[in-house]
Structures are given as structure tokens and as C-alpha cells.
Amino acid sequence: MNIMQWAQLVMFVMLIVVTISLAQVYQRSIKRELYNTNRGFSKGEEFPLLSLPSMSGEMISLVRPSTEGTIVTFTSTNCAYCASLYPTLTPFQEKQPQLKVVSLMVGDMESITEKVNEFKIKTPISLIEEDDLSSFNVNVLPFAYFLNKEGIVVAKGSVNSEDDLKLLLQMSRSA
């Protein structure tokens, strides 16, 4: 290969790199929305239960005037999509100390304890029955509500990653 062929090859590679970079910047600039934001309680509605028992029997308060708000996630130990959310809960909570993250998890004590240990979940968890989901107006998992410090729903949608939790937080701030 002579110098002109090398130069053309380098320019071609640079063109590919620039194209990929521009595509990534464009994708990030598109406002992404959570799925299922039309489900669940209406924005502005008071969450029906503002305290509930944790797995250890202590009461978890969902109304915390000293915080920006509370993210309440609904998951099930039998839900494959929920498994992608579990490892993000504790790191997200640690990065967002102004928030409280609480999980309402469908399953028996043994399966929930297994998930807590497997994914090193340190956020509060309340065990609920599958029949309880309808009383929270939840019919898709994993799902989350963002409650303001008075317990009012300000954002909601399906979440299964840290990016989704960040988007829920962003949605709550623009509500």
C-alpha cells in the first residue's frame, strides 16, 4: 500500500468514527419517555398507603418531608424484567440521598430474601401479595411511582434500569 491508499483508509475510518459519534449524540438528545405512563394512579392523586411494614416488621413511611420524594417500585420475584432493576436500586439510592427508594415486592419471604442477598439490595422492601397490586393500580411489572414529600403521585411508569429511575426523577422535577 502506498501513502495515498493509507491516507484514504485513515480518512474512511475517521468518517466511520465521526458518524457513529454523531449518531450517539443524536440518540442522547432525543427525550426518552418511560413506557406505561398512562397506567396506574393519576398524577396529582394521593398514594393510598403512606406507610407499610418492611420485611423486618418496622414501618416504612412513604411521606418524608425531609426528602425530595419517594420512589416506590413494584416488582415480583418471578418477574424476569424485574431482575434487571434489582441491582440498580441500592446504587441509585446511594447516588440520590435526597430521595427514598422503597420496593413493594410480590413473593414469599424466602424468595424475596434470596433476591435481597443475590442483588445486595439495601433499600427498604415490603412484601405484598399479587392480589395487592390491583389496590395500587399496578398491572404491569416492574412499575414505579414517584411520590412528592406529601405522598402525591407526580410521575410514574415502567422502570427496569438505572436510566429509567433517572428519567422518572427527571419527570418528577418537570411535573
Share above pLDDT 90 across residues of the chain, in percent, rounded to a whole number: 75
Decide: 59 and 52 in contact? Cβ < 8 Å: yes
Kindly give, in sequence order, each residue whose CB lies less than 8 Å from that of residue 40, ignoring residues fewer than 6 positions away: 136, 137, 138, 143, 145, 153, 156
- Span 36-58, pLDDT tens digits: 999 999 999 999 999 999 998 89
pTM for the predicted model, two decimal places: 0.82
Confidence of residue 174 (pLDDT cuts 50, 70, 90): confident
Q: In what order do the strands lie in the sheet with 99-106?
A: 125-128, 99-106, 69-76, 143-148, 153-158
Give the pLDDT confidence score for residue 67 in this predicted structure.
85
Confidence of residue 108 (pLDDT cuts 50, 70, 90): very high
Share above pLDDT 70 across residues of the chain, in percent, rounded to a whole number: 97
- Span 125-160, pLDDT tens digits: 999 999 999 999 999 999 999 999 999 999 999 999
Mean pLDDT of the region 52-71:
90
